[in-house]
Each structure stands twice: as structure tokens, then as C-alpha cells.
Amino acid sequence: MAVSIPADAHVKTKRSSSLALAWRRFLRRRWAVAAGIFILLELLIAVFAPLVAPYSPYYSDYAATYQKPGAKHLMGTDDLGRDVFSRVIYGARVSYAVGVLSQVVIVIIGLPIGAIAGLLGGWVDFVIMRVIDVLSSIPGLLLYILLMVALGGGSGNIYQAVGNIILAMSLTGWIGIARLVRGQVLSIKESDYVRASRSMGAKNTWIIKTHIMRNSLTPVVVSMTLGVPGAMFAEAGLSFLGLGISPPTPSWGQMIGVYQAYARAWPHLILYPAIFLAITMLFWIILGDGVRDALDPNIRM
């Protein structure tokens, strides 16, 4: 009795074996694994901040203002007697929300636009690329500042503030992903399996979903991983300028900006949020490098 094998069985098997190989290659990068563990732990701490933080980030103890790091307050207290350690933990929520969600939105916008431009070509590609060229000429930080001023920042609403920051970053942030995907599509669409799909009557939407996007995900994942620390830094810069997260909601950039005047007298107020921001960005970059090396078969490990 003949056994029928699904036509796409070998494709699924090949994809699963490629993922297993990439995972083994990633595990060989000890620094990347350590960075991934650190990021995962930091993310869990941010999610379960109410269970981890010893105090509420909004609780003020006016009898314990400007205390230096000690047993009761591991990172000291600020001018209102609030525990800096608790505020740093809650500040991670904002950084991770902006960093991860902004990259998700950027990929959702840039991936299909780049795929359409590269696959259709002609006047569609010309129009999309000219729009990208115009948007690329606008300085990113200046655009963020103008948009945050126009949107009014967060006006004390944390959800509105995070949404405004993600919106500002997404308006031009998708350009890099679109260009990356377009370059991938231009090389992929000339491959034999795409030509075979066309000869069998496959539509462009099916080709984009089945072949183009799946084979373009590797550089997109790497770009997304490396883009998270950039988004975190941009949020910190906006909050530092007073255009991002509004007090009393804690944010690493906001804490650095608010207490910069106290840097000499009470350095712990800006030292700890700055250290956590720098270390988090560094580990995201290390993780991105590890993911890139694991997904690139041309790199020997």
C-alpha cells in the first residue's frame, strides 16, 4: 500500500532542521547566551515588578529623603524619599515596552512594503523608494521631538505616552526594514522556486506570504534585535528632554534627566538608572550579534 507524503513535508523538515542548527550555533556563543539569560531575567523582573520591588515607586517617605545606598534602600532614595531601586525596576517596564513594541510595529509596516516594492518592481518600486528617500532625509531625532511636542507627550497618562513614542518611532523607523526586505526580495524573486510558483499560476500575495517573507525573516529578526536598544535609547533621550514619560511614572531616561542637577551631591540618583540602561543596551547588542551569527551559515563558529 502506497503511503502518500504531503508535498510540503520536505520543506517543513528542512525548516525545522535549519532552526535546530541555528539554535545549536547560537548556544556556542556563550556571551550571546548570557545576554539572552540576562534579558529574560530582566524582562521577568519588569513584568512581575510588584512582587519584586520592595516598595511602591510612588511611595514617598519624607523622613528618608536623599539617603545613600544602604541595607534598607539598596540604591538610596530621591528628593521625595522614594526608593530608587523600586523605581529602576518599574522603569524597565517602560524601556522594554517601547523597545520591543516599537520594533514589532516597525516590522509590521516595513516588511510588507519592502516585499511589495521588490516583488512588483516597476513604477510601484519607484514610488515606494522615492517616498523612502524623502523620509530618510528627515533627521530622526528632530522628527521625534517635533511629533512629541505636537502630540503633547503623555500628559501624565503612561499608556498615551508610550503610544505616542511608539508612533513617533514607527513613522520613519520602518524605512530600514523596508530597504532590507526589498534587497532580499530582489534576489529571492529570481530563484527557481519562485519562478516555478509563477509558472504554476501562483498569485503575488501567495508568493509573498509563502516564499518571500519566510526567506527574508533572518535579516529582519537580526535587525529587530539590534533595533531594540536603539529604541530604548531614543525613549531615554525623549524622557531626558521632558518629552517622553511624565512624572511620577518612572523611566530610566526620565530619572537621569530629572536628577542631572544632583549628579555631584547625590550621584546615586542618576548612576543606577544610567548603568541599567547601558548594560541592557549592551546585552541586546550582544544578543543581536549572536542571533546574526547563528542564522548566517557563512559564518564559521
Walk me through the domains of the chain, giving residue ranges and CATH numbers: 29-51+65-295 (1.10.3720.10)
pLDDT of 86 reads: 93
Block means of pLDDT (10 residues each) for the chain, length 301 residues?
44 59 84 93 92 91 88 89 92 90 91 86 89 86 84 70 87 89 82 78 74 74 86 85 82 86 86 92 90 71 55
Which three-class secondary structure state does DSSP give residue 77? Answer: strand
- H or E element at residue 223: helix 213-240
**CB 171, CB 131: distance < 8 Å:** no
pLDDT of 154 reads: 56
Amino acid at 88: V
Distances (CA, A) of 152 to 157, 161, 177: 11, 9, 28
The alpha carbon of 217 is separated from its chain's Cα centroid by a whole number of angstroms, namely: 15
Rounded to 5, what percent of the chain is helix, strand, coil?
75, 0, 25
pLDDT of 35 reads: 93
Distances (CA, A) of 200 to 66, 119, 167, 192, 214: 73, 17, 41, 12, 20
Distances (CA, A) of 41 to 35, 37, 222, 278: 10, 6, 21, 16
pLDDT of 104 reads: 92
Residue 14: Cβ within 10 Å count: 10
pLDDT of 2 reads: 44
pLDDT of 155 reads: 57
pLDDT of 1 reads: 45
User: How far apart (Å, rounded) are the C-alpha atoms in residues 20 and 33?
Assistant: 15
pTM, two decimals, is: 0.82
Question: CB under 8 Å to 102, separation ≥6 — which residues?
Answer: 165, 166, 169, 170, 173, 227, 231
